[in-house]
Copies of this chain bind each other. A is one copy, B any other.
Amino acid sequence: MSILVVGSVAFDNIATPSGCVENVLGGAATYFALAASYFTRVRVVAVVGEDFTREHEDVLRKRGIDTLGIEHAPGKTFRWGGHYTDNLNEAKTDFTELNVFERFQPKIPKEYLDTTFLFLANIHPSLQTSVRREMGGVRLTGGDTMNFWINRTPRELAEMLKVVNVLLINDTETRLLAREASLPRAAQRVLAMGPEALVIKHGEYGATMFFRDGAFGIGRHPFRAPALPIDEVRDPTGAGDSFAGGFMGYIASQEELNREVLKRALFYGGVMGSFAVERFGTERLESLDREEIDARFQVFRELTHLE
């Protein structure tokens, strides 16, 4: 099995109560790819500038990630700067320089057309839809979006929601998309827009997965996975994308595609998110092994399961 992620690669400046870093490798596709790389073969479609060096690419290649789909364009790589205060659930953006990302037109190498799973990270919904159509044979597509697209491109987003099997967004995005304050009701409205499952990420409170009736087998109830209580969240940047990488990566590693697999995937999402925030940038995600990951999966189980 394999998974293709299409999204941003960036250089980030990040300040949190624990410290600050500059020009560290980031972007949704980077976090997603690193997290998913512990579960399955990962391919990346993204665009970078001339400042993206061999050393940067090696961060991905060392994890066995296929970087053939990373386009090198003239100019600078996408740059983002942000900071967090005591509320680590909310980043305050200091600057955004789109650079080469502004004209990003995903180009899928023909070698990637046999990929079995697809994740559409947060980019313009029309680009997401067009990638999904090009990758006609995938078994399951996950997708992300954000307030900006919900507000600015509702029609394009509506098209995208019809071609995505699992949507992964946060509480605020869910309420905004559904125009409904009650999260369970908002979830039902979002599912009526297309996805078969909706994963709502609650930050430090974990995530809830809602299913459309009959999707992925039988069951009446949503499913909740916790986040790990972590003494010091050093850097929340990329936690959501790492969650998505763990979630989709685990799914892509399984033969079956049913509700039980999706539930375990939700736990693995939490596991990878919990690793991501322990260090700045991608540091922690670069140097894990599957044993550590499965040990933490057991911690999540002890955290939630009765005897």
Chain A residues engaging chain B, CB cutoff 8 angstroms: 17, 86, 181-185, 187, 202, 204-206, 208, 210, 219, 221-226, 229-233, 260, 263-264, 267, 299, 301-307
Contacts and interface: CB of A to CB of B under 8 A. Distances in A.
A231 B185 contact: yes
Contacts of A185: 231-232
Tell me how many chains of this kind the complex includes. 2
B303 A260 contact: no
Contacts of A226: 224, 226
Given A223-B304, A305-B306, A184 B231 contact: yes
Contacts of A205: 202, 205-206
A107 B202 CA distance: 44
Contact of A222 (B224, B229, B260): B229
A11 to B, nearest CB: 28
A233 B180 CA distance: 13
A190 to B, nearest CB: 13
Given A182-B232, A184-B230, A267 B301 contact: no
Contacts of A231: 182, 184-185
A221 B182 contact: no
Contacts of A306: 260, 263-264, 267, 301, 305
List the 6 shortest-distance A-B pairs measured between CB atoms, nearest first.
Answer: A205-B205, A184-B229, A224-B226, A86-B181, A221-B302, A184-B231
A182 B233 contact: yes
B299 A221 contact: yes
Nearest to A267: B306
A86 B183 CA distance: 11
Nearest to A304: B304
A197 to B, nearest CB: 14
A304 B305 contact: yes
Nearest to A204: B183
A304 B301 CA distance: 9
Contacts of A232: 182, 185
Contacts of A307: 260, 263
A223 B301 CA distance: 10
A221 B304 CA distance: 10
Given A202-B205, A205-B202, A223 B303 contact: yes
5 contacts: A184-B229, A205-B206, A222-B229, A260-B307, A305-B306
Contacts of A303: 221-224
Contacts of A181: 17, 86
